[in-house]
Amino acid sequence: MSYLLWIIQIMFVPLVAPLGVGLINSLKARIQKRRGASLLQPYRNLWKLFYKDEVISRDASFIFRFAPFIAMGVTIIVGACLPIFTSTLSTPMSDLLAVVYTLALGTFFMALAGMDSGSAFGGSGSSREMTISAIVEASFISSILTVAFLSGTTNIAVMSAGLSPGSGNFLIPIVLAFAAFCIVLLAETSRYPFDNPDTHLELTMIHESMLLEFSGKRLALMEWAAANRLLIFSILAVNLFFPIGIAHDQAVLSVLLGISSTLLKVAIVYIVLAVLESTIAKYRFFRLPDLLLVAFVLNVVAIGLVL
Amino acid sequence: MMSALASPTMLIAAMALFGIGGVGAVLLRKSDRLANYWSSAFALFGSVTALVFAVSMLASGQTFVAQTTSDSFPLLSFALNIDRLAAFFLVTISIVTFFCSLYGIGYIKQYYGRYNIGYLGFLYNLFIVAMLLVVTSSNGIFFLIVWEIMSLASYFLVAYDRHDPENVKAGFLYLVMTHIGTAFILLAFILLYVHTGSFDFTVIQAAMPTVPAHIKDSVFLLALIGFGVKAGIIPLHIWLPAAHPAAPSHVSAIMSGVMIKTGIYMMIRLFLDVLQPAPLWWGIVVLVIAVASCVLGVLYALTEHDIKRLLAYHSIENIGIILLGVGSALVFSALGMSGLAVLALTAALFHTLNHAIFKSLLFLSAGSVIHATGTRNMEKYGGLIKLMPATGLFFLVGSIAISALPPLNGFFSEWLTFQALFQGIAQTDFYIKWLFIGVTAALALTSGLAVACFVKAFGVTFLARPRSQRAEKAHEASAVMIAGMAGLAVLCVAVGVGSSWIIAQLQTIAQGVLSAGDHATLVTVTSGHILSIAEGFATVSAPLLSLLLIAVPLVVWTITRFGINRSQRVTTGRTWDGGTDLTSRMEITSTGFARSIILIFRGLLKPSLQHSVEYEDAASRLIPRSRSVTLSVQDVYRRYLYRPVFIGFIHLSHWIKNGIQNGNINAYILYILVVLLVMLGLVGVW
């Protein structure tokens, strides 16, 4: 049973993530009065890219060649550490700081790969990406820290077991920390209003401009890793702050309930993202620190209320 | 066997080896090559001997005390006390000096025929001996003598490349600042002597209960300033970004890696050991200084495009992170939480060791880059990883380690520092809790910015295309230089993977310093090398983390390479250039990369932008000949702190010259009379 659960745990993020991207894209198409592609289109895209030939810049070094594997590997590792459907699968890998910094390792190599080919776009994309991720890190750590103090452990896999659901005292700090975490989510996964995931317009893009030189298998891995990242942050958002339905034992019924409740909650996050991206405009780059400051203040208040 | 290695003979042997190396180098100065080999080889032997001695001291857990005091000549008194803390710093120093000496054999060659290698060898060995004695001495006077030798030797090393006037200026600034620091330290020791009657640390510690509180507070402030200058805390740091780049790279590596740590060592020794018990506000002051140093240090590093100045500012940042641990330990021990104090001090010690390793690695690989390109300006680099792959790899390892990314050593010491701060938030009272919340946020911000800064440093230096002709013709470092860097890079990995074992050892050292028993154990290492804080509040397993981070990307690579579409064709082509010729001027530069962060923090950094246009014809101003834009960051410390003091001193000396020292003999006789009368009066009062 435990082995089976581990297999589900490890496979969940990479297998489900492209579906989420498909969901967002088709919803956005509907809002724009288009029919849009099928929900499974991202899987087809990945398949297509994996079977294409590849061009690598002659200026690029081994960093460019290995960065996609590191970026993908990091999201698989972190994906396996999350409280996806149960709070019973825990390893020392699920430590809050280990997760944050492992994700940062992926960003580090992705930013270096952006600079590696020597194009003007890649470099400016890396610069913008690192600017945002440098400032967002403090909010990332402190919003999860609020829950950690409530539950008495920084192991995110078992954190939800320490929270007694429905306890009124926790509600205000959790809601504040959740609001902060939502801003972190938007920033870390390059969504509106920080970045426009659909555009290749040089003035606005951040994440995409680092990927411009990638093609074939490496581009597939980079896009897959970005989808995984979005799912990782969504799972963190729903299962750390609102762990309703998550299984606290390994019985078949509670595991099934856990999986379906997570899918439902993550779907809600994706729907909100799609609506958000269809209704608001992207912020000017230098207004983003204001938003991150808001996240930071929310966190400080939340931690202050916990203690 | 163990006792033989841990005997003082080993220490004396190490000193003697350095001595032979130094003196021999001077005697062999006629031949550059011989002097280099002689001094470097004996520095290597000395480092190994000191390392073996210190490690066996730590392993056997004994303390070595040696003393010769003479009451009539206090200047001649000599006292060594090697406890676990001193032995730990001996280990740190000798590891770094070993690899730097190895690297030096190759690096010094560029000075052949230009400078005297014999004197370099002499000063280098003297510098190391003085550092080893600084961390082992236990007598104020003896300490000050070796401290001064260390400062002077390093001054001569900073100004060694004397044909560049900038280096001479940097050396002078260092000389002035370090002596200001020494003056404060001297005052602190004199105050202690007046109230305890001794310069000996153990006697001072024993007499501590009789010393009035305000004297202790003054000693704390004086020592904080004095040792803070050496450690490079903001705002006393101004010598550091000037002096570290000026010295030869293997010396910069030692200065940045271990010399500034002697300031940290003395702070730990005095504040957490000799002057205990300490009031709460000491810890708060240290924490505030630490926050300023780490946040501002990394922000200034981002503004730099001189690779060695960038690394020097990162030393300030990391000193700040170490002081976060020391300050938290002070706060916790003042609140009587000895377990937490041990945790915080362990984190500080571990970060001291790690910073010594990765910072010297970074300075050495920066040295290879400078050696190959002839400039410290990062804008003139680019694409070096293809020309010097080994150096590039080592710089990458150092960058990952200093950015606190797993699985290298920097991550685990920062992790431990975070845990100390988390426990501070969880277990202290209202006001102190808010202090720790702020400090935690500052550390998180610092580490985020450090990652950005090293993406910039590595990317601009080693990736994309060369941006100057010198960079196009760069060459790989020589074999000994690579060996020196490789050793440190391996240590970065090994200390990261073995961090749980090392943390357990450091915890015993910290318990010894704080005289806390085993019951105050917060860090436990459970089976499978899992590090656990406060009964499972946080757990991490270094071997598992390292294994996964290596294995999973490899599995992904294997599957994508061999599992899917094996017949894929990979071709090499040009970077997409949008239809224009892509030149190296279109790459992102160091200034450009950091510009957005600088603008976000413009309130702190005060960046300035100057446009100037030169015209062909000054009268009509129609056709511009050249346009230039100057970007700079204000040196607020010199402008608002040092300059007013400097101007004040000039005014004071003018006043003394014109008012008191007026050349009139009668007036001088009057002064003598007045002083005499005052003295007589004082004697009468007594």
Burial class (CB in 10 A: 0-12, 13-18, 19+), B350: buried
Does A169 score more than 70 pLDDT? no
B383, B553, B586 member nearest A69 (Cβ) = B553
Partner-chain contact B573 A58, CB within 8 Å:
yes
Does B164 score more than 70 pLDDT? yes
Q: How far is CA A247 from CA A2, A261, B37, in A?
A: 13, 10, 67
Does B59 score more than 70 pLDDT? yes
Pairing between strand B624-633 and B607-615? antiparallel
Q: How far is CA A242 from the centre of its chain?
A: 17
Q: How far is CA B246 from CA B113, B233, B255, B454, in A?
A: 19, 19, 11, 21
> In A117-145, which positions are buried (b, 16+ CB within 10 angstroms) versus exposed (e)?
bbbbbbbbbbbbbbbbbbbbbbbbbbbbb
Does B584 score more than 90 pLDDT? no
CA distance linking residue B260 with residue B318, whole number of Å = 11
Cβ contact B57:B6 at 8 Å: yes
Q: Which of B60-64, B453-457, B587-591 is predicted with the least confidence, judged by mean pLDDT? A: B60-64
Domain end, chosen from B167, B197, B227, is at: B197
Rounded average pLDDT over B227-238: 92
Q: Which of A172-186, A195-209, B98-112, B626-640 is predicted with the least confidence, judged by mean pLDDT? A: A195-209
Cβ contact B78:B139 at 8 Å: yes
User: Which one of A141, A291, A300, A306 makes the best mutation probe of the B interface by having the most chain B beta carbons within 10 Å?
Assistant: A141
Partner-chain contact A149 B426, CB within 8 Å:
yes
Q: What is the dihedral of CA B62, B63, B68, B69, to 10 degrees?
A: -150
Look up residue A44 and give its two tokens.
Answer: 């087809």
Look up residue A71 and give its two tokens.
Answer: 């970026």
Mean pLDDT is highest, among A122-126, B125-129, B334-338, B618-622, for: B125-129
Cβ contact B403:B450 at 8 Å: yes
User: Which one of A43, A48, A127 makes the best mutation probe of the B interface by having the most chain B beta carbons within 10 Å?
Assistant: A127
Nearest 5°: the CA angle B460, B292, B256 is: 55
Task: Look at residues B550, B554, B546 and name the one whose alpha carbon lies nearest to residue B495.
Answer: B546
Domain assignment present for residue B44? The answer is yes
CA distance linking residue B147 with residue B133, whole number of Å = 8
Domain end, chosen from B197, B216, B231, is at: B197
Mean pLDDT is highest, among A21-35, A201-215, B576-590, for: A21-35
Does B169 score more than 80 pLDDT? yes
CA distance linking residue B127 with residue B136, whole number of Å = 15
Does B1 score more than 60 pLDDT? no
Does B457 score more than 90 pLDDT? yes
In chain A, the residue whose alpha carbon lies closest to the alpha carbon of B528 is A92
**Mapping DSSP to helix (H, G, I), strand (E, B) and coil, where does residue A245 land?**
coil
Domain residues for B644? 607-661
B198 or B135, greater pLDDT: B135
pLDDT for B549: 94
**Mapping DSSP to helix (H, G, I), strand (E, B) and coil, where does residue A251 land?**
coil
**A189 Cα to chain B: minimum distance (Å):** 16
Q: Which of B49-63, B118-132, B307-321, B573-587 is predicted with the least confidence, judged by mean pLDDT? A: B573-587
CA distance linking residue B156 with residue A288, whole number of Å = 48
Burial class (CB in 10 A: 0-12, 13-18, 19+), B303: buried
- Secondary structure (H, E, C), B623-665: CEEEEEEEEEECCHHHHHHHHHHHHHHHHHHHHHHHHHCCCCH
Name chain B contacts of A51, Cβ cutoff 8 Å: 564-565, 568
DSSP secondary structure, A121-188, as one string: HHHHHHHHHHHHHHHHHHHHHHHHHHHHHHHT--BTTTHHHHSPTT-GGGHHHHHHHHHHHHHHHHHH
A193 falls in which pLDDT band (50, 70, 90)? Answer: confident
Name chain A contacts of B531, Cβ cutoff 8 Å: 92
pLDDT for A2: 83
In chain B, the N- to C-terminal Cα span, in Å, equals 61
B75 falls in which pLDDT band (50, 70, 90)? Answer: low
pLDDT for A225: 96
Look up residue B341 and give its two tokens.
Answer: 């104090």
B268 or B639, greater pLDDT: B268
Domain assignment present for residue B657? The answer is yes
pLDDT for A248: 84
Tell me which amino acid residue B589 is.
T
What pLDDT digit, counting tens, does each position of A50-93 carry? 999 999 999 899 999 999 999 999 999 999 999 998 888 877 78
A285 or B418, greater pLDDT: B418
Name chain B contacts of A98, Cβ cutoff 8 Å: 406, 415, 540, 545
Does A121 score more than 90 pLDDT? no
Name chain B contacts of A55, Cβ cutoff 8 Å: 570-573
The label of the residue with tokens 């020597």 reads A118
Rounded average pLDDT over B637-657: 88
Does B578 score more than 90 pLDDT? no
Name chain B contacts of A47, Cβ cutoff 8 Å: none
Q: What are phi and psi of A38, to 5 degrees?
A: -70, 165
Does A118 score more than 90 pLDDT? no
Does A167 score more than 90 pLDDT? no
Look up residue B227 and give its two tokens.
Answer: 């040792």
What sign has the CA pseudo-torsion B639, B641, B644, B646?
A: negative
Name chain A contacts of B584, Cβ cutoff 8 Å: 118
ipTM: 0.95
What pLDDT digit, counting tens, does each position of B364-408 carry? 999 999 999 989 999 999 889 999 999 999 999 999 999 999 889
B3 falls in which pLDDT band (50, 70, 90)? Answer: low
* Domain range summary for chain A, segments of one domain joined by +: 2-306
CA distance linking residue B509 with residue B58, whole number of Å = 9
Long-range contacts: B526-535, Cβ < 8 Å, 24+? B529/B500, B529/B501, B530/A92, B530/B500, B531/A92, B531/B412, B531/B499, B531/B500, B531/B503, B533/B343, B533/B416, B533/B419, B533/B423, B534/B419, B534/B423
**Total residues belonging to chain B:** 686
Cβ contact B488:B361 at 8 Å: yes
B531 Cβ contact partners less than 8 Å away, ≥ 6 residues apart: A92, B412, B499, B500, B503, B523, B524, B525, B539, B540, B541, B542
Q: How many CB pairs under 8 A join A and B?
A: 258
B518 falls in which pLDDT band (50, 70, 90)? Answer: low
What pLDDT digit, counting tens, does each position of B315-336 carry? 999 999 999 999 999 999 999 8
Q: How far is CA B130 from the centre of its chain?
A: 17
pLDDT for B393: 96
What pLDDT digit, counting tens, does each position of B252-271 carry? 999 999 999 999 999 999 99
Cβ contact A66:B553 at 8 Å: yes
**Total residues belonging to chain A:** 307
DSSP secondary structure, B421-438, as one string: HHHHHHHS-HHHHHHHHH
Name chain A contacts of B386, Cβ cutoff 8 Å: 61
CA distance linking residue B211 with residue B617, whole number of Å = 75
Does B360 score more than 90 pLDDT? yes
Burial class (CB in 10 A: 0-12, 13-18, 19+), B679: exposed
- The total of structural domains in chain B comes to 2
Partner-chain contact B538 A96, CB within 8 Å:
yes
Domain assignment present for residue B500? The answer is no
Partner-chain contact B549 A105, CB within 8 Å:
yes
Long-range contacts: B3-10, Cβ < 8 Å, 24+? B3/B60, B5/B52, B5/B53, B5/B56, B6/B53, B6/B56, B6/B57, B6/B59, B6/B60, B6/B62, B6/B64, B8/B64, B8/B66, B10/B49, B10/B50, B10/B52, B10/B53, B10/B56
Name chain A contacts of B573, Cβ cutoff 8 Å: 55-58
Domain assignment present for residue B414? The answer is no
pLDDT for A102: 95
Does B5 score more than 90 pLDDT? no
Name chain B contacts of A58, Cβ cutoff 8 Å: 572-575
**B537 Cα to chain A: minimum distance (Å):** 4
Q: What are phi and psi of B504, to 5 degrees?
A: -60, -40
CA distance linking residue B603 with residue B222, whole number of Å = 31
The label of the residue with tokens 């209003």 reads A193
**B38 Cα to chain A: minimum distance (Å):** 39
**A39 Cα to chain B: minimum distance (Å):** 23
Please give the mean pLDDT across all residues of chain B.
90
Cβ contact A135:B596 at 8 Å: no
As a whole-number percent, the residues of chain B with pLDDT over 90 amount to 64
CA distance linking residue B635 with residue B618, whole number of Å = 33
Q: What are phi and psi of B248, to 5 degrees?
A: -55, 145
Whether residue A83 is preceded by a cis peptide bond, meaning omega within 30 degrees of 0, is: no
**B351 Cα to chain A: minimum distance (Å):** 16
Partner-chain contact A118 B587, CB within 8 Å:
yes
Does B76 score more than 70 pLDDT? no
B294 falls in which pLDDT band (50, 70, 90)? Answer: very high
What pLDDT digit, counting tens, does each position of B423-452 carry? 999 888 888 999 999 999 999 999 999 999
Please give the mean pLDDT across all residues of chain A.
89
CA distance linking residue B637 with residue B674, whole number of Å = 41
Partner-chain contact B576 A105, CB within 8 Å:
no
**A93 Cα to chain B: minimum distance (Å):** 6
Partner-chain contact A111 B385, CB within 8 Å:
no
CA distance linking residue B471 with residue B379, whole number of Å = 10
Burial class (CB in 10 A: 0-12, 13-18, 19+), A238: buried
CA distance linking residue B510 with residue B524, whole number of Å = 14
B641 or B99, greater pLDDT: B99
Domain assignment present for residue B577? The answer is no
Does B84 score more than 80 pLDDT? yes
In chain B, the residue whose alpha carbon lies closest to the alpha carbon of A96 is B538
Rounded average pLDDT over B473-500: 93
Partner-chain contact B459 A213, CB within 8 Å:
no
What pLDDT digit, counting tens, does each position of B295-319 carry? 999 999 999 999 999 999 999 999 9
**Mapping DSSP to helix (H, G, I), strand (E, B) and coil, where does residue B573 land?**
strand
Partner-chain contact A52 B568, CB within 8 Å:
yes
Domain assignment present for residue B596? The answer is no
What sign has the CA pseudo-torsion B160, B476, B358, B285?
A: positive
**B304 Cα to chain A: minimum distance (Å):** 15
**B473 Cα to chain A: minimum distance (Å):** 16
As a whole-number percent, the residues of chain B with pLDDT over 70 amount to 97
Domain assignment present for residue B649? The answer is yes
